Amino acid sequence: MKQRYDIVIIGGAVIGSAVAYFLAANPDFDGSVLVVEKDPTYAKASTSLSSSSIRNQFSNPVNVRISQFGTEFIRNFAETMQIGADRPDLNFHEGGYLFLASTQDQARTLRENHAVQRACGADVVLWDKNELSRAFPHLNVDDIVLASYGRSGEGWFNNTGLMYGFKNKARSLGGVDYVTDEVVAIARQGGKVSSVTLKSGQVVGAGTIVNASGPRAALTARMAGLDVPIEPRKRTLFVFDCARTPEGSANVNKGRLPLMIDPSGVFCRPEGRFFLSGCPPLEDPCADWDDFEPRYEEFEEIIWPALAERSSAFEAIKAVNQWAGHYDFNTLDHNLIVGPHPEVRNFIFANGYSGHGLQQGPAAGRGVSELIIYGAFRTLDLSEVGYERVVENRPFLEKAVI
């Protein structure tokens, strides 16, 4: 490790590693990069605990385009990230997302979102209850007013594969060092940050610092005397077994079921021979940093009743595994914050994805690399999700939040 790097990235999971990769892969960049990661097992990183899905069905065109780039990147990942004979295929299962609306209000939102998605070229269709029932005969559609289904470009993939693909390729390209250590302090003189202090005691000079510390983003920002409205919020995922699985019964997409979002907010998707499910929590306080205890009761009290109501196939289900992770929750508007602090321009935020950070990793990593190399976004303009809106208390509007 050197005593000074052009770029120091704090956090080496999917976002930190995506930034490192896009810097190293750009021929216009010849600087040095240090990624500081305190836990190389990534056991509690959001990246490892994620449900690893990607959708184009957002309401804001910026988010639709971010995910469209993610889809394309995931599809080509093995080729882009190949190192020698090693091709890290992400096993992208293009099962689609299915949003269900049971009220006129929900249906209006789906229609409005659909118009935005179609304008961006997303392959999404709206169905009435009869069309829905033909496509997925196992569903009870009695209360359904409208459904929105992504025919392609959406699905789920290998989460840690995405992170390690970026990390390994970034290192193989040269100019990128990873160190196992924790950033405990950041030196700042007025409008500039200049170094990080590691727990081991070492001080490392930094031309630019990137905050990629996930749910701990606010702790990292505070070291530089800055605020960012991000806190850890607990989400529990359940894997369940289903005695009479409906997977294979669909009349679309080779029989495959999508990731379904019930009007109640409960979601489930196939996961091999099992299903993965979750729900919005009834109460959603800021979590303790080290509290990863699952909310076991959510399965019996919220998920199972909603799914059994939606399909008789889900009447006999049994949770076989569960875990809890932390959303990197942006309390201002539930969306990513990507860009420099307006008064400390060499401190760049790449935080606050609130449940979308895996799929947004490729676009966020590329965007941050462009800010560093060119001083501006070159491909997809992410300035709407910059830090300025935090200062101005101007939420970025996204209606399709899960």
Ligand X SMILES: Cc1cc2nc3c(=O)[nH]c(=O)nc-3n(C[C@H](O)[C@H](O)[C@H](O)COP(=O)(O)OP(=O)(O)OC[C@H]3O[C@@H](n4cnc5c(N)ncnc54)[C@H](O)[C@@H]3O)c2cc1C
CB of 85 to ligand X, least distance (A): 28
| Residue with Cβ nearer ligand X (271 or 370) | 271
CB of 45 to ligand X, least distance (A): 3
Could you tell me the smallest distance in angstroms from the CB atom of residue 107 to ligand X? Answer: 24
Contact 249, 260 (CB under 8 A): no
The distance of closest approach from Cβ of residue 104 to ligand X in the complex, given in angstroms and rounded to an integer, is 28
Token code pair at residue 67: 């995910």
For ligand X, the closer of residues 188 and 235 by Cβ is 235
Task: Pick left, alpha or beta for residue 339 (phi over 0 → left; psi -120 to 50 → alpha; otherwise beta).
Answer: left
DSSP 3-state assignment of 284? coil
Q: Which is nearer to ligand X, 107 or 217 (CB)?
A: 217
Q: Which is nearest to 340 in space by CA: 378, 298, 376, 300?
A: 376
Q: Which is nearer to ligand X, 316 or 320 (CB)?
A: 320
In angstroms, give the least distance from the CB of 208 to ligand X: 16
Query: Angle between the 104-119 and 61-75 helix axes, to the nearest 10 degrees?
Result: 60
41, 13 Cβ separation under 8 angstroms: no
Closer residue to ligand X, CB minimum distance, 49 or 226: 49
CA 143, CA 166: separation in Å to the nearest integer? Answer: 44
| DSSP code of residue 120 | T
Positions that interact with ligand X (CB under 6 A): 10-11, 13-16, 36-39, 42, 45-47, 49-53, 182-183, 212-216, 220, 235, 237, 325-328, 353, 355-359
Q: What is the DSSP string of 164-180?
A: HHHHHHHHHHSSEEEEE
C-beta of 154 vs 370, nearer to ligand X: 154
Q: Minimum distance from CB of 133 to ligand X (Å)? A: 27
